[in-house]
Amino acid sequence: MAAERTERLMNLVICLLHTRSYITAERLRETIPGYAEAPSDEAFKRMFERDKEDLRDLGIPLETGSLSHFDDEPGYRIPRNDYALPSITLEPDEAAALVLAARMWSSAALGASATRALRKLEAAGVEISRLPDGLQPRVGAGGTGLPIVAEAAREGRRLRFDYRGASDAAPATRHVEPWGVVWWHGRWYLVGHDLDREAPRVFRLSRVMGDPKAEGKAGAVTVPEGVDLRALVVASDPPTTDAMARVKVRHNRAIGLRRQTVDVSDDGGGWDVVTVPCPDPHRLAEQVLGYGADAVILSPAEARDAIVQRLHALTGAHQ
């Protein structure tokens, strides 16, 4: 929509919203910038009819009535009660859930949007509950590419990115028709049709090198009917329990980690040593990192190194 037309519609809404009585089309023609420039009465009528249809298409209630019983010329107004949104009321647990969801995003792009949403709720009078100290949920975006990938999947546009698989010596460029993104076991995955392999593939977003590039026109990608994105991700990530890890945790802390425990022993001084399955040392490092000073990885060495790298990165970011 052209900027001039958008401005005219906004002025029309403001005018009709702040009047108590009906306003005739002729009066609007004199008041609203843009209508007066119509070259003829017929051109103004066509313009005004299109604007009325646009308002109705946008869901704005446009009411028609007469100024008096003796006036046949119709007038227009927007009833405030029908136009205004109802007041937002949230129960304490609902408000806490919103705060929890907003805090989950650790990426700057998604975190800024979540913060703005909370500020708008507060401005509307919603009391945003405070979470207990120490409860800091986090969902990593798996690199900077999640917003780009999710937007491309929504618009149906192809993606190009450099990807380094678990067994790849170097990254390779991939061309993919995205079907959607899935959160599974602490990671984001892209599911789609790999044009280079001519087959469905699953890509872990944390292994995408650099920023993905969306290509082509919107709507070029069609998601196969009945495809189960989650099932494809699960099939690509079979569970293994052969590898084990030992983690030192404080008493009554790291409950999520303790649920996976296959063995636990008292280490004294308010600490336990738990043994948990460790199919992916890097995934374990991300999980343990969320418990802060309440958990320390003892083994395997790869998981210890991974969490040390993450702690150094966090220190550098804060500095």
106 or 319: which carries more pLDDT confidence? 319
279 or 275: which carries more pLDDT confidence? 275
Compute how many other C-beta atoms are within 10 angstroms of the C-beta atom of residue 73. Answer: 11
Residue whose tokens read 């037309």: 5
Please give the share of the chain, as a percent, with pLDDT higher than 90: 31
Please list, in sequence order, all residues whose beta carbon lies within 8 angstroms of the beta carbon of residue 82, skipping any fewer than 6 positions away. Answer: 61, 63
What whole-number distance in Å separates Cα of residue 79 and Cα of residue 28? 17
Compute CA distances 53 → 24, 28, 58, 67, 74, whole Å: 17, 16, 9, 22, 16
Residue whose tokens read 């929504």: 154
Q: Which of 283, 275, 274 is nearest to 303 (CA)?
A: 283
122 or 51: which carries more pLDDT confidence? 51
Write down the pLDDT at residue 281. Answer: 83
Segment 281-294 mean pLDDT? 85
Correct CATH for 3-83 of 1.10.10.10, 3.30.360.10, 3.40.50.2300, 3.40.50.620: 1.10.10.10
What would the pLDDT profile of 197-215 be if each residue is shown by its tens digit?
999 999 998 888 888 999 9
**Confidence grade of residue 108 (pLDDT, cut at 50, 70, 90):** very low
Residue 142 has pLDDT above 60, yes or no: no
CATH 3.30.70 fits 146-236, yes or no: no
Listed ranges 58-67, 121-130, 216-225; the one with the highest mean pLDDT = 216-225
Residue whose tokens read 């599911």: 191
Helices marked H in the chain: 3-17, 25-31, 41-57, 80-83, 92-104, 108-123, 146-155, 229-236, 255-258, 281-289, 301-318
pTM of the predicted model, to two decimals? Answer: 0.47
Segment 63-77 mean pLDDT? 79
Segment 241-269 mean pLDDT? 87
**The two three-digit tokens of residue 133, written as one number:** 């100290």
